[in-house]
Amino acid sequence: MKFLDGFGEQAYALLRIVAGLLFLAHGVQKFLNFPVAFPYPLNPMLQAAGAIELVAGVLIVIGLFTRPAAFVASGMAAVGYWVAHGTQGPYPISNGGETIALYCFVFLYIATRGAGIWSLDGAKK
């Protein structure tokens, strides 16, 4: 699609920002019960996950310390998948883990690529 040539950097920045915002929303739900209440009691593992979602989500959105934040977020998503979903069966579509599995690999990609444009990391260059 030739009409999209030249928009790769902008599309990547949008992927980083939107993925960070959606990840951040999970932490907001856990701690603030917004926009809907979190359906489970917060045990220490869910509190740690929520803290990572909040902090890493903000850092990824603004593009600050993007690589380490995305790496930690990817690892948290991998652990979350296997602890919460993988025990329910091997297939993400049947165990409810497709979203967290996707987060794992999107954040792994962001960790390898860096912040890109529209980021505080990029502004330091």
End-to-end CA distance of the chain: 31
Tokens 């049947």, residue located = 94
pLDDT (tens digit per residue) in 62-107: 999 999 999 999 999 999 999 999 999 989 999 999 999 999 999 9
Distance CA 12, CA 19 (A): 10
pTM recorded for the entire structure: 0.95
Alpha carbon of 50 to those of 14, 27, 88, 113, 121: distances in Å? 23, 4, 22, 24, 24
Is the pLDDT assigned to residue 124 strictly greater than 80?
no
Distance CA 54, CA 75 (A): 15
pLDDT (tens digit per residue) in 23-55: 999 999 999 999 999 999 999 999 999 999 999
Is the pLDDT assigned to residue 125 strictly greater than 70?
no
